Amino acid sequence: MCLGIPMQIIAAGEFQARCRGRNGEAWIDMRLVGAQPQGTWVLTFLDAAREVLDPERAAAIDAALDALERLQHGAPLSPGELDACFADLTQREPRLPDFLRKDAE
C-alpha cells in the first residue's frame, strides 16, 4: 500500500520546495504539480508532490494517518472516532472510477 503524506511548502522554488509535514522537513520535487507558493499544501509520495491540496483535505488526510498510527500501536479507537477519521469513505457509497464506470453500464 502506498500512503501520500500532506506537507506544507515553507520555501518555494521552481522545481523543488522545502516542505514541512508530520515527519519533519524535506525537499520535495514539484515537477508533477508545478511551482506553488509558500503555504500551499501538497500530497507527497517518495519525495515528490503528486497533488495540490486545500488545507481541509490536508487535515483530513493527516487525521486518517493519525488514526492508522494509533491503531498500529494498539491504541483503541471508538467506532465514532474511526468513522470521523475516514469520513470520506464511510459517508458515501462506493464509486467506480470514471474510466471503469463506462464499461460497467
Give the per-residue pLDDT at 61.
92
Confirm whether pTM is higher than 0.85.
no
**CA separation for the pair 37, 53 (Å, rounded):** 13
Give the per-residue pLDDT at 68.
85
Report pLDDT digits (tens) over 32-67: 999 999 999 999 999 999 999 999 999 999 988 988
Please tell me which residue, 7 or 68, carries the higher pLDDT value. 7
- Sequence ranges of the domains in the chain: 5-53, 57-97
User: Coil, helix or strand for 16?
Assistant: strand
For domain 5-53, give the fold: SH3 type barrels. (2.30.30)
**CA separation for the pair 94, 31 (Å, rounded):** 32
Residue 64: its H or E element = helix 55-72
> Which letter, b or e, does each residue of 65-74 get, where b requires 16 or more Cβ atoms within 10 Å of its Cβ?
bebeeeeeee
**CA separation for the pair 38, 12 (Å, rounded):** 6
